[in-house]
Structure 1
Amino acid sequence: MRLKTLLLAAALPLSALAAANTTAPDPATALLAELEQGRFAQAHARFNPAMAQAVSSPALTQLWQQLAQSLGALQRIEPDQTRQVEGNDVSTHLLHFQHGTVRATTAVDKAGHISGFHLAPVASAAAAPPADAPFTETALQVVAGPGPLGATLSLPKGPGPFPAVVLVHGSGPQDRDESVGPNKPFADIAHGLAAQGIAVLRYDKRSQARPQDFAQGASLALETTDDAIAAVALLKAQPGIDAGKVYVLGHSQGGMLASHIAKAGQAAGAILFAAPARPILDLLREQNVYLLAQSPQITAEAAKAHLDQLDAQIAALRSDKTAELPQLPGLTGAYWQELEAVDVIGQTRDAGLPTLLLQGGRDFQVVDADWNRLQAGLQGERFSFHHYPTLNHLGIAGNGPGTLAEYQQPGKVDAGLINDIAHWIHAQ
């Protein structure tokens, strides 16, 4: 699960993608310059009325300051590309911070006002395994839905057949490595399991690789489940794979859906890693409260205004299928209501499959309240539980309360967690 309103301010539809180049719009570069200089009121004054209502001046200030806290000082701004989208001039810039790069997408309407502003991390591909690694990697494609998705198969060396796992992402646009800052938890898991004789298929999430496919709206089937089920079928068909021992590992939101995907894809079992077990919009609010408490530069008045606005937006999403959370455009109330209707405990229990559940004790996105609910609701020999007190949401060890800044510190998924997954799979 990616952090929501405190990490992302946007008013661009998911269909806002490729089009012809145009002259770079001056308001976009001026906006970035004002943010860099800390002139937040002037930057916010560039928003058109709809954008200004969706993202308040305190929220914009908070967004930029937390970005600086996570990534360090902004070192340079690099123009990327410009295009015309639905009557807006849309430009992208690469913001090179001390500890990472962010792509800023800015939309400017015909009146010269900012109609959309979106910040997303830029990730590089995971390094190829060394020649003496006990596994190889092969490029594949998951063919499903409106178009194919790039994928990587990590296959142990040797005759096989090998047990195997499909990795299913958390929320938001995700690459096949599930990159967050310099960290690549899915690449870590794939390499760690492949080194222990377990093949792993990971693939680019549709919302990251093909956001144009969401022009008519998002659903869980289009966003996640259809592609994951197709990935299971693809993995079963690969040479060297034991088709009767293919498992589904879902992380965060993917963990909510892992049992459904495993049952629909006739997989051998499911692994739920940091899976929410409560209404997702409740978790969204909790994340905001937690991060506000870690942000002393945000006044109590501004924090209250932010939460009051968020509460109103959440209430609208729960009652109106056409409502949108302005910070996450393209995801209507219908999508959020579908997501909140997922009964992870019921689906996992009804799937009838061996299930491994994993949770980090320093996770501030999916917390012990979810873990306790899973333990209480899933009892019996086919359920195995592992809790790791020092791990965060990505499965990376640390000390003290979890923070956003921690995600920008390079680390690796805990070897003990990967070993527990491998031992569980080999024991099935």
Structure 2
Amino acid sequence: MNRFLTTTLVLLFVSLGASAQTEEPIHYKITVPAGADLTLDGTLTLPDDTKKPVPVVLLIAGSGPTDRDCNSGYGLKSNAFKMLADSLVKQGIAVARYDKRGSGTNLQAAIKAIKPEEHRFDFYVSDAVGFIRQLQADKRFAGVYVAGHSEGSLVGMLAAGQTNAKGYISIAGAGQNIVEVMKAQGRQANSKELQAEVDAALDSMRAGHIVHPKNPILKAQLSPSQQPGLISWMQYDPAVEIKRYKGPVLIINGKNDLQVAVGEAELLKAARPDAKLVLFDEMNHILKNAPANRIENIKTYADPKLPLTPGLATAIAQFVKQH
């Protein structure tokens, strides 16, 4: 076979493989706080050649500047959300994902548009609601399902309830107040003396007070400008909020997740006994198989070529198709 024909066939096969799905941009101009000028960008991935409406999943990222692909400028290069979208589309399910405030394409614009001390947790919920309503108004979709990862689990839970989404999926989401989660995470790394100060500061913040820690490490982690946003987050208990959502629920967690323990998923399940709980033996926080060893586990966060945990996308797809 001559070289030209070989190259032509390779390009043809690549084209045919790519044609299994299409991507289009989506946008949402924020509405809160009043007067803030910021537009969030996202990606809608669709199965090709669909002759009838398909279900769509809105995928909401977790804490920090995590973008629509599950990457950030702080060493997170996982591509986990992009991989999940591609996997779900292959099973006939559309996926919408977006750069939340302070991430991806809007990182610098968000800093200019909203002062840190003005941020509130409910702003994330408002943005998710905006994207959900756009999807609900799109006749290409048979129903909108909301999947939230980590911090996005609570965001999605609240947004799904406000919009009567067809289904809700918690992925590595907390099952108790974020104060208790932060305390548990701190005990893994802090001395008893520092952790005592951490616990006292978090309890004061949960009560609505701005704190002024003396320890330099804690002072850097709990700057006064960031505390109002954290305090607003602390007002929610996921185990209470998940009861308020009346639709079907899927709860997913990995047993090798170093950031959100399996016990958090079990708390959500206890609050919603009718929910389906799926645990993956080797999955870590970025939805990849990883060893339990902390150093080796964290190394996977910077490996975008590492595949998703086998069975994760299928578990989500089965839940969507059953409801």
- TM-score band by shorter chain is 0.7 to 0.9
Cα drift, residue 279 of structure 1: 2.4
1:174 matched residue in structure 2: 66
1:260 matched residue in structure 2: 158
CA contact (8 A) 2:70 2:79 kept: yes
Residues 348, 314 of structure 1: CA spacing in aligned structure 2 closer, same or farther, 3 A cutoff?
Answer: closer
Alignment of 1:415-426 (within 5 A): 415-426=310-321
2:183 matched residue in structure 1: 285
Residues 384, 198 of structure 1: CA spacing in aligned structure 2 closer, same or farther, 3 A cutoff?
Answer: same
Cα drift, residue 288 of structure 1: 3.0
Q: Deviations over 1:311-350 (max 9, x none)?
A: 4432442345333763254322x43333222122222222
Match of 1:404, SS state, is helix
Residues 174, 212 of structure 1: CA spacing in aligned structure 2 closer, same or farther, 3 A cutoff?
Answer: farther
Cα distance between partner residues in 2 of 1:256 and 1:319: 20
* Equivalent position to 1:345, from 233, 236, 239: 239
Q: Deviations over 1:56-93 (max 9, x none)?
A: xxxxxxxxxxxxxxxxxxxxxxxxxxxxxxxxxxxxxx
Aligned-pair identity (%) = 26
1:235 matched residue in structure 2: 135
1:196 matched residue in structure 2: 91
Residues 148, 328 of structure 1: CA spacing in aligned structure 2 closer, same or farther, 3 A cutoff?
Answer: farther
CA contact (8 A) 2:61 2:100 kept: yes
Alignment of 1:230-379 (within 5 A): 230-238=130-138, 240-242=140-142, 245-291=143-189, 303-304=191-192, 306-323=194-211, 326-327=220-221, 329=223, 330-332=225-227, 334-379=228-273
CA contact (8 A) 1:257 1:344 kept: no
Cα distance between partner residues in 2 of 1:347 and 1:310: 26
Question: Gapped runs of 5+ residues in structure 1?
Answer: 1-129, 293-302
Cα distance between partner residues in 2 of 1:286 and 1:187: 30
Alignment of 1:116-265 (within 5 A): 131=15, 132-133=17-18, 134-145=20-31, 146=36, 147-158=38-49, 159-179=51-71, 181-208=76-103, 209=106, 210-215=110-115, 216-222=117-123, 224-238=124-138, 240-242=140-142, 245-265=143-163
CA-based RMSD of the aligned residues comes to 2.2
TM-score computed with the length of structure 2 as normaliser? 0.80
Cα drift, residue 309 of structure 1: 4.5
| 2:25 partner letter | A
Match of 1:373, SS state, is helix
* Equivalent position to 1:406, from 297, 300, 303: 300
CA contact (8 A) 1:361 1:392 kept: yes
Cα distance between partner residues in 2 of 1:404 and 1:316: 31
CA contact (8 A) 1:177 1:187 kept: yes
1:103 matched residue in structure 2: none
Cα drift, residue 291 of structure 1: 4.2
Match of 2:233, SS state, is helix
Cα distance between partner residues in 2 of 1:318 and 1:350: 22
Alignment of 1:93-112 (within 5 A): none
Cα distance between partner residues in 2 of 1:150 and 1:200: 14
CA contact (8 A) 1:183 1:412 kept: no
Cα distance between partner residues in 1 of 2:183 and 2:158: 26
Match of 2:285, SS state, is coil
Structure 1: which 4+ aligned runs deviate by more than 6 Å?
none
2:289 matched residue in structure 1: 397
| 1:255 partner letter | S
| 2:165 partner letter | A
Cα distance between partner residues in 2 of 1:372 and 1:246: 25
Residues 419, 172 of structure 1: CA spacing in aligned structure 2 closer, same or farther, 3 A cutoff?
Answer: same
1:384 matched residue in structure 2: 276
Match of 2:102, SS state, is helix
Higher strand share: 1
Cα distance between partner residues in 2 of 1:328 and 1:205: 21
Cα distance between partner residues in 1 of 2:148 and 2:138: 21
| 1:195 partner letter | K
CA contact (8 A) 2:172 2:253 kept: yes
| 1:148 partner letter | T
**How many residue pairs get matched?**
283
| 1:154 partner letter | T
Cα distance between partner residues in 2 of 1:278 and 1:339: 12
Which has the greater radius of gyration? 1
1:427 matched residue in structure 2: 322
